[in-house]
Amino acid sequence: MPFRFLDDIATADVAFESWGATREEVFSSCAAALLATMVEESEEVIRNKEIQIHLEHEELDLLLFAFLNELVFHKDARRLLLHVDNVMITERDKVFHLETVARGEEIAPDRHKLLVDVKAITLHCFALVQNGNLWKATVVVDV
């Protein structure tokens, strides 16, 4: 998986680092890490519901922040655990636009190996950087 959990940041919460060859990939990797924070064997979450997501922000890192917050919102508001396989990011007039279809299913405590509820994405140590051909994000989530 293109992410790993970090043990040495924010003891009471969960921190992860995600990566990808493109900015779009690192967004998807972060969504995968977020899902894996909440449910063990997250690949078992099936894709029978869809949510369209359109977001925009002037800053690319804060677009990622808004994107992850959107997934957390749907976990409570629609009780959905979501995969994000492909993300499209475009830049127009100095504003980044994100479009994607998140796919997943309703939380089923009898089938899903649930771990911990994510309350929010924090901005503590939050980072999105490009280093050569690799995009990397660091995220601390409040659980």
Which residue stretches of the chain are H helix?
23-38, 60-77
For other proteins, the closer of residues 25 and 126 by Cβ is: 126
Judged by CB under 8 A, which stretch of 17-25, 48-56, 71-79, 95-103 contacts other proteins? 71-79
CA distance 63 to 11: 26
Nearest to other proteins of 109, 132 (CB atom): 109
Question: Is there a contact between 74 and 94 (Cβ–Cβ < 8 Å)?
Answer: no
Per-residue binding letters, 114-143, with other proteins (x by CB under 8 A): xxxx-xxxxxx-x-------------x-xx
Residue 103 in contact with other proteins, rule: CB under 8 A: no
| 85 touches 102 (CB < 8 A) | no
